[in-house]
């Protein structure tokens, strides 16, 4: 690896958020038990108010590093929980993973530390593999150099990319401190990690994909809860919110117009599936009520921050 950054001491934490997926947590923890986790400074596991109160205890099988175990008293959106990981983390680097992944490389965290100590990057994308070993994603690249228009990157070459895949990504904590965390109003899911990556790039931070890092992603648990029109609506409305918050004036109008035009073309390609759902119109109208609804959410958020059923650290 040919890196330009000078090496400096740093530490790594792992952040995991889960909800009602016991078998996936067992698989994830079992994969951690087969790894070299000595370089990990901390594991932060957040149970988003699962039905099974005992799932969180499965992490206690991991010995030798600090465990921060948190159980939410009420269900909160994924961006909120990711921000909680940032707030509780006392490391320089955070590895975010979904609960439906499996570590397949024993030295994943050692490689992560090596890359983040020496590479000229602030966010890292690993190769995301499907259960059959095929590449799902290697970061995302812009199409036509347009913001908010992108495609999965399948070229297995270390390179700069524009977006991240939510299943696994690695971030320097200073990004949270400098650009703010994930947009907690992008709920119930979709686009929060992409908005985070967009703001990171706008503020001069770099995102790179590295072939040295691989992780297996089983996927489908979240998306399967929503129909295709519902997923499209969430994606478009959150993308428009991101455009509205990150751009101003004529540039905002032009980017929103380009994005909606391409989204319209995409829905017309599968018109039988999207006919009658008015996903773009609903997404635009949602922006009108966005600010008032955000004030109500902030009240829920403050209540959640004060009412964790359990929060403890195990050495």
Tens-place pLDDT, residues 31-79: 999 999 888 999 999 999 888 888 888 999 998 889 999 999 888 889 9
Domain end point (choices 173, 197, 224): 224
Domain end point (choices 224, 244, 273): 224
The highest-confidence range among 58-72, 135-149, 255-269, by mean pLDDT, is: 58-72
| Residue range(s) defining the domain that contains residue 262 | 226-302
Q: How far apart are CA 93 and CA 111, in angstroms?
A: 13
In degrees and rounded to multiples of 5, residue 132 shows phi and psi of -90, 5
- For 230-255, the pLDDT digits (tens) are 888 888 999 999 999 999 999 999 99
Q: Domain tally for the chain?
A: 2
Q: Does a structural domain hold residue 265? A: yes
State the pLDDT confidence band at 2, using cuts at 50, 70 and 90: very low
Find out whether 170 and 142 touch, Cβ atoms under 8 Å: no
Q: Does a structural domain hold residue 166? A: yes
| CA angle (52 as vertex; 62, 102 as ends), nearest 5 | 45
How many other CB atoms are found less than 10 A from the CB of residue 51? 8
Q: Are 57 and 145 contained in the same domain?
A: yes
Q: Are 247 and 283 contained in the same domain?
A: yes
pLDDT at 295 over 60: no
Q: Are 127 and 28 contained in the same domain?
A: yes
Helix (H, G, I), strand (E, B) or coil at 312: strand
Across the strands, what pairs with 127? 214
Greater confidence (213 vs 147) lies with 213
Q: Are 63 and 133 contained in the same domain?
A: yes
- Three-class DSSP labels, 83-146: HHHHHHCCCCEEEEEECCEEECCCCHHHHHHHHHHHCCCCEEEEEEECCCCCEEECCEEECCCC
Q: Does a structural domain hold residue 113? A: yes
Q: What pLDDT was estimated at residue 205? A: 95
Q: Does a structural domain hold residue 5? A: no
Instruction: Calculate the average pLDDT of the chain.
Output: 85
Quote the percentage of the chain above a pLDDT of 70.
86
């Amino acid at each position: 690896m040919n890196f330009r950054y000078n090496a400096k001491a740093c530490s790594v934490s792992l952040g995991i958020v889960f909800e009602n997926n016991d078998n996936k947590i067992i698989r994830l923890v079992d994969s951690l038990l087969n790894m070299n986790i000595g370089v990990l400074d901390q594991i932060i596991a957040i149970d988003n108010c699962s039905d099974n109160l005992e799932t969180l205890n499965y992490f206690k099988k991991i010995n030798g590093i600090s465990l921060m175990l948190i159980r939410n008293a009420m269900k909160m959106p994924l961006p909120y929980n990711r921000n909680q990981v940032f707030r509780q983390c006392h490391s320089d680097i955070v590895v975010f993973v979904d609960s439906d992944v499996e570590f397949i490389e024993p030295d994943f965290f050692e490689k992560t530390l090596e890359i983040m100590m020496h590479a000229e990057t602030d966010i890292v994308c690993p190769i995301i593999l499907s259960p059959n070993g095929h590449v799902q994603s290697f970061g995302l690249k812009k199409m036509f150099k347009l913001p908010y228009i992108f495609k999965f990157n399948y070229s297995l070459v270390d390179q700069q990319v524009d977006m991240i895949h939510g299943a696994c990504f690695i971030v320097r904590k200073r990004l949270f401190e400098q650009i703010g965390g994930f947009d907690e109003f992008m709920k119930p899911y979709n686009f929060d990690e992409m908005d985070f990556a967009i703001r990171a790039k706008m503020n001069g931070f770099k995102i790179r994909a590295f072939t040295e890092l691989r992780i297996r992603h089983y996927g489908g648990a979240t998306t399967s809860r929503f129909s295709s029109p519902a997923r499209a609506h969430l994606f478009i409305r959150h993308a428009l919110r991101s455009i509205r918050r990150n751009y101003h004036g004529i540039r905002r109008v032009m980017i929103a117009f380009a994005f909606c035009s391409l989204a319209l073309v995409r829905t017309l390609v599968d018109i039988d599936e999207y006919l009658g759902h008015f996903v773009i119109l609903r997404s635009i109208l949602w922006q009108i009520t966005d600010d008032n609804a955000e004030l109500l959410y902030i009240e829920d958020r403050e209540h959640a921050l004060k009412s964790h059923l359990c929060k403890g650290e195990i050495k």
